[in-house]
């Protein structure tokens, strides 16, 4: 059981997303109306906001 959630890394953010969807799948039978269950099933859209930041090194001529 995780208390005081922290996602200090990109990878932990993705782990959290996976855990949420897995929880949704597991609870499908008991709580059909729950948000995570609907998200895991696909009946509620899931929007993931992310920014592809490309930092390029400058080469001096």
Where along the sequence are the contacts to another protein (CB under 8 A)? 2-10, 12-14, 16-17, 19-20, 23, 34-36, 39, 44-51, 53
Pick 45 or 58: Cβ nearer another protein = 45
Q: For the CB of residue 29, give the shortest distance to another protein in the complex, in Å.
A: 16
Pick 4 or 58: Cβ nearer another protein = 4
Q: Which residues are CB-contacts of 39 (< 8 A; sequence separation ≥ 6)?
A: 20, 21, 24, 45, 46
DSSP 28: T
What is the sign of the dihedral through the CA atoms of 34, 38, 44 and 45?
A: positive
């Amino acid at each position: 059981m995780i208390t005081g959630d922290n996602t200090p890394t990109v990878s932990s953010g993705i782990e959290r997303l996976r855990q949420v969807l897995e929880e949704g799948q597991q609870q499908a039978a008991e709580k059909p109306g729950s948000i995570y269950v609907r998200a895991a099933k696909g009946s509620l859209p899931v929007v993931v906001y992310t920014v592809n930041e490309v930092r390029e090194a400058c080469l001096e001529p």
